[in-house]
Each structure stands twice: as structure tokens, then as C-alpha cells.
Amino acid sequence: MSVPTMQVLVGFQTTTGFGNPFQLDNAVYGLLDTGTLGGLAFADLTSLVQSVNINRGRSRQLDQFNAGTATISFNNSTRILDPNNTASIYYPFVLPRCPVIIKANGITIYAGLITDWNLNYDIAGDDMMYASCADVFTVLANQALNAFTPDAELSSVRVKKILVRPEIAFQGATAISTGTSVLGAYNITQDTNVLNYLQQVATSEQGFLFVSADGTLTFKGRSSVLNPVSGATFDDTTGLPMQTLENQYGDELLYNYVAVQSPAVGSAITTSDAASIALYQAQQLSQLDLLNSSVPELTALGNYLLGKFKDPTLRFTNVSTQLTALSTANQNICLTLDLTSICTVTKSFSTGSPASVTQTLIVSGVSHNITPASHIVSYTFESTDGNQYLSLDNAIFGTLDNNLLSF
């Protein structure tokens, strides 16, 4: 057992000292096959790394996914990453927006951009450079749409159309799965923020919009987690070992009166659950800035939200594990878990009944804390969809009035 093999790669523009770029009218680098075309080249800075901290995901099920962030601390005693050092092979390209890739056992666990280089000069010369990183959400958050009116279309089609707009021309990798909700042909005003609008689309779908570990902008419809299949099992007997396990049972996600609204209706459409209100009193969830195209669309979404949140859920909310205690195969299982991955968590007890509790959960947050002798990874969980949907040829879900039709 050992710590996973880490690698930190940073992309710099090529210079005569790094990457030997092709240069016109140069006696050496102006000849073919003597260098590379100008552009980015990734430098392996792993030997300089002192620690890495990565945080991705969201902390609450009804919140939007945040930009994934990372902080990398480098030993900079040689000044190789000092933007003022003209002798550095990377000079003058130690700049904001350098791409960064962090790997463990060859698996990408973070990809983004360095937003800040923060250099701490030490009186004894042991300088430290701290690179603050953010994923491509930071690009979308600083882009704006021109005014236009889209067609009525599925949420996933809307996401694709936004990303290929000429004023956006998103250049990164994407993975857009088919949505469930149909969005209306509502005007988009001039200078609408791109990330805010895409998150509005995700809310109207009740889907998932996030950046994956390898930097892929990802959109998933709400139906993507209706029939979850676990990709990893954490337990305290035979599965992946847990260093910590947290449980939560509260009213932070208790809503038994739901109001939804879009430009398709003049006033909010409401739905409620009398039994839940009698037990817990009325707890209202309002989603009044939606893009859904019709009354049936809004009604279906309101019923979906009510079914999901009308009762409090006892759930495991966080698991952490020390990867140095795992085999390489089990390390890789943990390292490949990403946002919206499905996990099974089992807790066994020496007293009381039942003797164990098992839950199937969605990964909604991933954090890595890495030092030379340690790699702790933590996962935040949210509940899978508790609604019961009509399933043909199913003894339970195939019976009308026992479940919900999905839209």
C-alpha cells in the first residue's frame, strides 16, 4: 500500500527555452523538424509540488454546482515560477489562465485554469508559489449572450445551442445527455450571463450541470438517475474502507408545498401534500424563474419536486477514505468516482436493530487533500430520486395509481 502516484501538469506558451518553438528567419528554429509550432506545451511540475487541495460539486441538493477549485503549493526556491525571473525557461508565460491538469495513478482528478499565481517570498530564500485554479465555469461566468429568441426545445438542445452561439463559441469538451423538460421560446435579453442562463436551464430540468474531473462541461437530465447502478461500495466490513462517515436527518430539504412558474403562466402553479403538512407544517419551495414551455410541463415538474422533498430523508451525507490504505485497484475505483456517480454505503452496528443500514446515493461533491505521504478523498452525497415511476411489466411500478408517470 502506498500513496497514489500524483502528477501536476501546467501548460505554458512555448519559448526558446521551453518547447523550442518554430521561428521564422531563425537560423536554428526556422528549420523544419527543429522545434514545435508555437502554442501550449505541458510541463510536468510534480517535483515542485508540496500539497494539493481540490474541491468540486455542491453542498446542498437544490443549489447549483459550483466551479471546481484547486490550490497547488509549489516549492519555488529556484524561482522557476517567478514571473519576474527572466532566466526561467517559462518566462514570460507564467500567466493567469494557464491550463492545469492534476492526475493520480494516471487518472485525471482535476482539470482547469490557473486564475492566480500567489508568490510568497521567504527571507531565507525558500519561496513558495501558490496556484489558485478554477474549472471552465469561470470562463462561462464571464461571457454574455446577445439578444435572441430560441425555439421551443428540450433542455439539452437549449444547452447545445447556447454553447455554439457565435458570441460564445465554447471551445472545451462537452457531454450533453438528453433532457426531459421542454423549454419555451422565450426572449433572451442582451448581455444575459451565460453561466446563469445555463443554470436556469438546469433548474427548469431539475438536472445536473457541472464540470467533470477531466474538464468536460456536462449536462444530465433528471431521468439520468432514475435507475441508479452503483459504481462503488463503501462499508466497514468487505467493501472500500471509510475513514469517516457522516449521517444527516433534518428539515433542510423538507418541502411539502411547491410553487412553480414560467412565462407560460400568469401566476404560479402550486401543489402540496396534506399528510406531510399535517405532520411537519407547511414548508414552501418556490421555483418562479423557470423556462418550462407549458402548464403540463410545470405541473409535472411541481409534482416531481413534491414527490422528492415532501418527507425528510435520513441519509449518509459524507464519506472520506485514506487512499494510502487501499490497493491500487481500489484506489482507482475511488479516483474515478465523479459528480453524479452512484455509490452504495453500508454501516454495520454492534448493537441495536437493524444490524446494518445500506443506502444508494449520488455523489454531489468530491474533495482531495494531497500531501507527499497522504491522499484523503472525501465524497458528499445526496439522495437518489425517491419518486416511484411507472415501469411496464413491474409488479410494483407497473400498477397504475401506485406511482408517477414521468414526463
Which DSSP string corresponds to 271-336?
EE-HHHHHHH---EEEE-S--B-SHHHHHHHHHHHHHHHSS---EEEEEEEEGGGS-HHHHHHHHH
CA distance 328 to 3: 9
pLDDT at 407 over 70: no
pLDDT mean across residues, the chain: 89
pLDDT for 388 = 44
CA distance 385 to 341: 14
pLDDT for 300 = 94
Between 397 and 323, the more confident residue is 323
CA distance 332 to 293: 43
Q: What pLDDT, in 10s, does the model give residues 311-354?
A: 998 889 999 999 999 999 999 999 999 999 999 999 999 999 99
pLDDT for 163 = 97
**37-41, 70-74, 81-85, 242-246: which has the minimum mean pLDDT?**
37-41
Under 8 Å between Cβ of 242 and 320: yes
pLDDT for 385 = 65
Residue 231: pLDDT band by 50, 70, 90 thresholds? confident
pLDDT for 16 = 67
Under 8 Å between Cβ of 207 and 220: yes
pLDDT at 257 over 50: yes
**pLDDT, mean of residues 33-40:** 58
pLDDT for 26 = 54
140-224: CATH superfamily? Baseplate protein-like domains (3.55.50.10)
In DSSP terms, 359 is beta-bridged to: 345
Q: CATH says 6-135 is which class?
A: mainly beta
pLDDT at 394 over 60: no
- Of 107, 58, 338, 341, nearest to 212 (Cα)? 338
Between 18 and 262, the more confident residue is 262
pLDDT at 115 over 90: yes
All cell numbers assigned to 177: 445527455
Residue 36: DSSP 8-state: B
CA distance 103 to 335: 9
pLDDT at 200 over 90: yes
pTM score of the predicted model: 0.88
Phi/psi of residue 73, nearest 5 degrees: -105, 130
- Of 109, 108, 111, nearest to 377 (Cα)? 109
Q: What are the residue boundaries of the structural domains of the chain, listed by start?
A: 6-135, 140-224, 232-249+313-383, 257-309
Distances (CA, A) of 232 to 58, 332, 346, 372, 384: 20, 11, 11, 26, 15
pLDDT at 296 over 80: yes
pLDDT for 392 = 44
Cβ-based neighbours of 394, under 8 Å, separated by 6 or more: none
Q: What pLDDT, in 10s, does the model give residues 65-109?
A: 999 999 999 999 999 999 999 999 999 999 999 999 999 999 999
pLDDT at 398 over 50: no
**pLDDT, mean of residues 243-260:** 92
CA distance 369 to 324: 12
Cβ-based neighbours of 185, under 8 Å, separated by 6 or more: 149, 150, 151, 152, 293
**199-208, 241-250, 387-396: which has the minimum mean pLDDT?**
387-396
pLDDT for 24 = 55
Q: Report percent pLDDT > 70 for the chain.
A: 89
CA distance 75 to 70: 17
Cβ-based neighbours of 192, under 8 Å, separated by 6 or more: 144, 145
- Of 121, 99, 123, nearest to 111 (Cα)? 99
Environment class of 2 (CB within 10 Å of its CB; exposed 0-12, middle 13-18, buried 19+) = exposed
Cα radius of gyration rounded to whole Å, the chain: 25
pLDDT for 391 = 39
pLDDT for 33 = 54
In DSSP terms, 117 is beta-bridged to: 131
Tally: H helices and E strands in the chain: 6, 23
Cβ-based neighbours of 10, under 8 Å, separated by 6 or more: 42, 43, 45, 98, 99, 100, 114, 131
pLDDT at 390 over 70: no
pLDDT for 59 = 85
Q: Report percent pLDDT > 90 for the chain.
A: 77
Query: What count of other Cβ atoms lies within 10 Å of the Cβ of residue 19?
Result: 22
